[in-house]
Structure 1
Amino acid sequence: MRIKATLERIPGGMMVVPLLLAATINTLAPDLLRIGNFTEALFVDGAPTLIALFLFCTGAQINLRSFGVSVGKGATLLATKWIVGAAVGLIAYMLADSNGLWLGLAPIAIIAAMTNSNGGLYMALVGQYGNKEDRAAYSLLALNDGPFFTMVALAIFGTMGFVDGMFSIVSFVAVLLPILIGMILGNLDEEMRVFLDKGSSMLIPFFAFALGMGIDFKAIIEGGLTGIILGLLTVFVTGTAGYFIFKAFKWNPLVGAAEGSTAGNAVATPAAIAAANASFAPFVELATVQVAASVVTTAILLPLYMGFLVKRLEKKGYRVEEGDLVKMQG
């Protein structure tokens, strides 16, 4: 059976399929895997440990030596994603209803999904529409993997009075320390970076399954539908913002649009945030499913949106040539 190949053909399949499978088990037979010992430790209670290990492996992939390469483009993409995502999250907090939701969306899900980006999808898109400088910018974009920028936004909103409770320094460091240790280790030893890179992808289905064991179908139906809205916001708001920001700098605007996605690892962010601040715990289940739905939506929609933008540029007399946008003659 070609299980891995089948999962990889599904957008975000390595994360979404285990999550939905676990949610199905939890809905129909919630005690099936709650039998104690190693089984329950791995498949039910393992999410915090698995997420921590995932963040450690992810941190090892942040290459400080490459920061000088395409730092301008990378920093611009990073800043655009964070500012736009945080701004929409702030609007959500300001307009939230009595349940703490906006358009059915948990604000924590909005920030987690819109400030994070799918690195693999970005690389695939700039491989088609960008140049080597655009691909090298990914070394900086790795910084938006994980909960750090989401925590920064929420900490700011806390000082503004929009978030109940603040992150203590100890809690903040406790979440980020695995990333920092991994980053130090990966930069000290290239072989360790390569070794830990395998863990980044391998752990995703395991912590996704464990997270799914805390979700029932009611939450999936509610979160899945609103999660599609979150995916639409991510593509059309952050992607379009990146497009026009790059256009303003006279860079290839298609590269800016290529950041309009949500990465599969963002599904772990709500749980990581709640681990640092218990006031977010009531929203973890809904936010996790909404982020998961955004992953799938953006993976399908962003390439289509990029195709639309290419056609739009061609109608204006431009084409992509060796990763650069050039004016067609005649």
Structure 2
Amino acid sequence: MHIKKAIERVPGGLMLIPLLLGACVHTFAPDAGKYFGSFTNGLMTGTVPILAVWFFCMGATINLKATGVVLKKSGTLVLTKILVAWVVAMIATRLLPPGGIQTGLFTGLSVLALVTAMDMTNGGLYAALMQQYGTQEEAGAFVLTSIESGPLVSMLILGATGVAVFEPRLFVGAVLPFLIGFALGNLDAELREFFGRCVHPLIPFFGFALGCSIDLGVIAKSGFTGVFVGLAVIVITGVPLILADKVIGGGNGTAGLAASSTAGAAVANPQIIGNMIPELKPMADSATAITATACLLTAILVPILTAMWARKYEMLRNKEQSAQAAPAQNPSSLAQDGHF
């Protein structure tokens, strides 16, 4: 059987399929963890410790000695994505009620959902697209997308917009495992490789644990909102990312469009932040469902749009090269044609 290959055919499948399995368990057997207890309960309720280990290992994978071109490209994309999410949060705080929309077509829409869906790029998806449609430097630009991983950036945006107040110790606690991993990975290349091997295997585990806190009824109720937010992520973050890639990054916009997705890891952030800030806890379930839907939708649409964009520029470049390579008619050939 090729279970892993089948899972990977689903965009973001390593995260989303275990999450849906966990959500099924929570929906139809909500007391299963308590019933079995011990390690089974720990696996079903261990989102935070599993994510802490994953965040540590993710930090270890970042190489400080990355080339200047890679840092410039990745820094441009990461900062643009974060800035756009911050602007959206500023606007949303003035338009949405503090507890989010509770009824109607946009049920579940909140500042928490918008920020967590918009501030993180799917680094694996980006790297894969750039391997096919970009340069090696552009493909390597996913190196700094790891900085977006975890709840820190979302916390900074929510704190800066006044949606929530985080004590300094909470910021330190959110980023400390990442920083320790980053330090060890750069002090010892063998440790970077050792911990880096854990990044992908841990994804299904925190996906399942996260799903065990989600009721499928919430996903059903927020389905339209999730689709709306997913499309908004592509449009609202994609346009500035394309412009930034062209103006600052020196690209043709393909890398910017490829970065206009929602990361699978972002699905965990609403619950983590909700556990830190009691007033955000009621919004966490719907924000998780919306972010998960946005992750799946952007993982499907972004590759299609990126391919179309890249092909358009490839056609333009081929046309320009053909025009430049066309042999100019010399005087003798013109004379033979009767022009002289």
Taking structure 1 as the reference length, the TM-score comes to 0.89
Counterparts of 1:128 and 1:7, CA distance in 2? 21
Asked if residue 131 in structure 1 is aligned to residue 135 in structure 2, the reply is yes
Corresponding residue for residue 72 of structure 2:
72
1:152 aligns to 2:156 (yes or no)? yes
CA distance in 1, matches of 2:129, 2:149: 18
Q: In 1, distance between residues paired with 2:322 and 2:77?
A: 30
Q: Shift of the alpha carbon at 1:140?
A: 2.5
Pairs within 5 Å for 1:129-278? 129-158=133-162, 163=163, 165-249=164-248, 250-278=250-278
The Cα of 1:138 is off from its aligned counterpart by 2.2
Q: Distance in 2 between matches of 1:137 and 1:200?
A: 18
Deviation at 1:77, TM superposition (A): 0.7
* Structure 2 SS opposite 1:34: helix
AA aligned opposite 1:56: F
How far did 1:328 drift?
4.0
Q: Report which of the two structures shows the higher radius of gyration computed on alpha carbons.
A: 2
Q: What is the correspondence of 1:75-90 to structure 2 with a 5 Å cutoff?
A: 75-90=75-90
1:309 & 1:138 partners in 2: Cα distance? 19
How much has 1:300 moved relative to structure 2?
A: 0.4
Q: CA 1:223/1:200 → structure 2, altered by over 3 Å: closer, same or farther? A: farther
Q: Name 1:323's counterpart in structure 2.
A: none
Q: Relative to 1, partners in 2 of residues 1:142 and 1:99: Cα closer, same or farther, differing over 3 Å?
A: closer
- For the 8 Å contact 1:20–1:212, the answer to whether it is kept is yes
Task: Give matches, 1:280-295, under 5 Å.
Answer: 280-295=280-295
Shift of 1:174: 1.2
| Whole-Å separation in 2 of the counterparts to 1:327 and 1:275 | 56
Q: Separation in 1 of the partners of 2:253 and 2:38?
A: 53
The corresponding residue for 1:40 is 41
Code of the residue aligned with 2:225 in structure 1: it is: T
1:115 equivalent in structure 2: 119
What is the deviation of 1:314? Answer: 5.8
Report the Cα distance in structure 2 between the residues aligned to 1:280 and 1:155, rounded to whole angstroms.
Answer: 12
Q: Which amino acid aligns with 1:37?
A: S
Give the counterpart of 1:327 among 317, 320, 326: 320
Which residue of 1 is the match for residue 91 of structure 2? 91
The 2-side partners of 1:192 and 1:225 are apart by 44
Aligned mates of 2:98, 2:61 — CA distance in 1: 41
Percent of residue pairs identical = 39
Contact 1:175/1:272 (<8 A) preserved: no
Query: TM-score under structure 2 normalisation?
Result: 0.87
Structure 1 residue identity aligned to 2:77? L
Bigger Cα displacement from structure 2, 215-224 vs 297-306: 215-224
Name the Cα RMSD after superposition: 2.1
What is the distance in 2 between the residues matched to 1:69 and 1:143? 18
Output one character per residue of 1:273-302: Cα deviation in whole Å (capped at 9) or x when no partner.
234333321221111121111111111000
Code of the aligned partner of 1:106: S
Confirm or deny: 8 A CA contact 2:133 2:307 kept in the other structure: no
Q: Deviations over 1:72-112 (max 9, x none)?
A: 22211111111112212222222113642394422212212
Tell me the distance in 2 between the aligned counterparts of 1:110 and 1:128: 30
Residues 173-207 of structure 1: CA deviation (Å, up to 9, x unaligned): 11111111111111111111111122211111111
Moved more, 4-13 or 92-101: 92-101
> Matches of 1:192 and 1:310 in 2, distance apart?
37
Q: Give the length in aligned residue pairs.
A: 317
Question: In the aligned structure 1, how far is the partner of 2:232 from the partner of 2:278?
Answer: 27
